[in-house]
Amino acid sequence: LVLSLYYSFPAKGKFGFYVRAGGGMIWADYADWTGRMLTTASKFNYPEDQKASASGPVFIAGLGISYNIESSFRIFAEADYRRAELKNFLGKTKAEIEGALFSYEEYDADFDYWRYKLQVLAEIPAGENIRAAEKAHIDLSGIIIKIGLMIRF
């Protein structure tokens, strides 16, 4: 959810310039299911193994240019920068373990392979078969370019 304000600079002719700024909140849920099928069943069952959620602020700033084709049609180009990051996912597992969502790699000796995992744990995972352990986060920040047609009513 983002609320933005636009300010259009006074322009002469068919070109117009504007700036945009806004802020809001972003929410995300993480759910992990493992498919299981009983030998007597004909379909898979997907019980929820773990679930976590997080929220965070969103900030947007940008500028744009527009060209009036007619009084009711306008072509525009806009460049925005968005800062949005989700941190501190908190959740619960099927085994009633509550804690943070961690991302890490776990070594599987049978396959000689480091496997990436996301798991809700009470403490950060550690040990000789664990590496790159940290709290999970999602960064949705970046530059947005929009080109389009505005229709005025």
Q: Which pLDDT value is given to residue 134?
A: 96
Q: DSSP readout, 30-71?
A: EEEE--B--TT-SS-B--EEEEEEEEEEEEEEEEEEEEESSS
The helix (H) or strand (E) run that includes residue 124 is none
- Mean pLDDT (the chain) is 91
- Rounded CA-CA distance 61/133 in Å is 33
- Rounded CA-CA distance 98/141 in Å is 29
Split at pLDDT 50, 70, 90, the class of 12 is confident
| Full-model pTM | 0.73
Neighbouring C-alpha atoms within 13 Å toward the C-beta of 139: 5
Task: Please give the residue that has the higher pLDDT: either 32 or 60.
Answer: 60
Q: Which pLDDT value is given to residue 143?
A: 98
Split at pLDDT 50, 70, 90, the class of 36 is low
Q: Which of 80, 115, 117, 85 is nearest to 101 (CA)?
A: 117
Split at pLDDT 50, 70, 90, the class of 114 is very high
